[in-house]
Amino acid sequence: MITLRGLTKRFGDVTAVDALTVDIGPGRVTGFLGPNGAGKSTTMRMILGLDRPTAGQALVGGRAYGELRRPLHEVGALLDARAVHPARSGRAHLLAMARSNEIPDRRVDEVLATVGLDARAAAKPGRTLSLGMGQRLGIAGALLGDPPVLMFDEPVNGLDPDGVRWVRQLMRSLADEGRTVFVSSHLMTEMQLTADRLVVIGRGRLLADAPIDEVIAGSAVAVRVRSPQPVGLAALAERLTATGATVEAAGPDELTVTGATVERIGDLAYELGVPLHGLSPHGASLEQAFMELTADSVEYAGTPTRSEAR
């Protein structure tokens, strides 16, 4: 169990994490989401004692990380896949970690096998490791002490599709064993396939803490409407807008409508004499729900190109 109570971190005049209170429980994968600069990495660093909170608490199993005598037995973490000495081999890196926490040397070979790094790969110095190999080595380090709590910050960066699927299956298997699994990622599709529960923050503040199905269900369902008559489609869009629906152009012959049912759109099109070549609902996705939740919390927003705006 990870317990956050009023967790706050300020850097001068900037509040990176703002009174965050949440419980990350065992037996499930909890996804940690937020825009760039939302405070996710700072939160994880405070849980691991790498940053000192300005206020509040971050506890693992009821204790601060600094109070753990053999922390690798309590919590394993991957925050930075590049955090390996450039001249030290992957195996030597893990051996140093193991001996610092009274973990038998044989456990190093066990976790290397678990993450799919053979003897040749494990013998490479840190500076020669690809990002994907670094991710696997970092995951091995997190598993080293067989801890009940695991934290991963962007664990699939640099992995090929097979590696991404392997990480997903690993997260699920760890949660099924009753462990606490806390995972940060920007890959919404992957998070939708992996997580049971979501913690979403924006500008350091909690925006959502709920099962993933509830978060997605709170997002509006969109309806795609296609017609070969642009003038008629424009008239339909005007009528729908007047009824309170939100209408966006998805192309010269297509609209995306939220706030109106398929039946209502079809009836209006019939009344206006607008032929339809497509009328289909599209269920809400995690990406859509995330965008709606964090719309007011994005610090770095670019201007869409013409094709993106359509």
pLDDT digits (tens, 9 = 90+) for 44-67: 999 999 999 999 999 999 999 999
pLDDT digits (tens, 9 = 90+) for 15-45: 999 999 999 999 999 999 999 999 999 999 9
Q: How many CB atoms lie within 10 A of CB 151?
A: 26
Residue that is written with structure tokens 């169990």 in the block: 1
Could you give the angle at the alpha carbon of 184 between the alpha carbons of 127 and 92, nearest 5°?
30
Q: How confident is the model at residue 206 (pLDDT cuts 50, 70, 90)?
A: very high
Over 60: is that where the pLDDT of 254 sits? yes
Give 25-68 as a DSSP string.
Answer: -SSEEEEEE--TTSSHHHHHHHHTTSS--SEEEEEETTB-GGG-
Mean pLDDT to the nearest integer, 252-279: 92
Over 60: is that where the pLDDT of 245 sits? yes
Mean pLDDT to the nearest integer, 86-95: 94
State the pLDDT at residue 250.
85
Whole-angstrom distance, CA of residue 141 vs CA of residue 133: 12
Residues 136 and 189 in one domain: yes
Mean pLDDT to the nearest integer, 72-84: 93
CA dist 201 → 66, 183, 189, 310 (Å):
25, 13, 18, 28
Cα radius of gyration rounded to whole Å, the chain = 24
Determine, yes or no, domain membership for 288: no
Which residues lie closer than 8 Å to 116 by C-beta, 6 or more apart? 136, 166
Mean pLDDT to the nearest integer, 219-245: 90
Determine, yes or no, domain membership for 308: no
Residues 263 and 184 in one domain: no
CA dist 12 → 7, 9, 60, 105, 201 (Å):
16, 10, 27, 44, 20
**Cβ-contact 247, 257 below 8 angstroms:** yes
**Mean model confidence pLDDT for the chain:** 91
Residues 82 and 195 in one domain: yes
Over 60: is that where the pLDDT of 305 sits? no
Residues 198 and 263 in one domain: no
Mean pLDDT to the nearest integer, 242-249: 90
Determine, yes or no, domain membership for 98: yes
Residue bearing the bigger pLDDT, 149 or 220: 149
Whole-angstrom distance, CA of residue 42 vs CA of residue 31: 16
Whole-angstrom distance, CA of residue 103 vs CA of residue 96: 10
Q: How confident is the model at residue 310 (pLDDT cuts 50, 70, 90)?
A: very low
pLDDT digits (tens, 9 = 90+) for 151-167: 999 999 888 999 999 99
Over 70: is that where the pLDDT of 114 sits? yes
Taking alpha carbons only, the member of 16, 10, 11 closest to residue 36 is 16
* Domain interval for residue 201: 2-210
Determine, yes or no, domain membership for 310: no
State the number of CA atoms in the 13 A half-sphere of 280 facing the CB: 5
Number of domains in the chain: 2
State the number of CA atoms in the 13 A half-sphere of 30 facing the CB: 23
Residues 157 and 275 in one domain: no
Over 60: is that where the pLDDT of 238 sits? yes
Residues 189 and 254 in one domain: no
Determine, yes or no, domain membership for 306: no
Residues 67 and 206 in one domain: yes
In angstroms, the first-to-last Cα distance of the chain is 45
Q: How many CB atoms lie within 10 A of CB 277?
A: 11
User: What's the CATH number where 74 sits?
Assistant: 3.40.50.300
Determine, yes or no, domain membership for 295: no
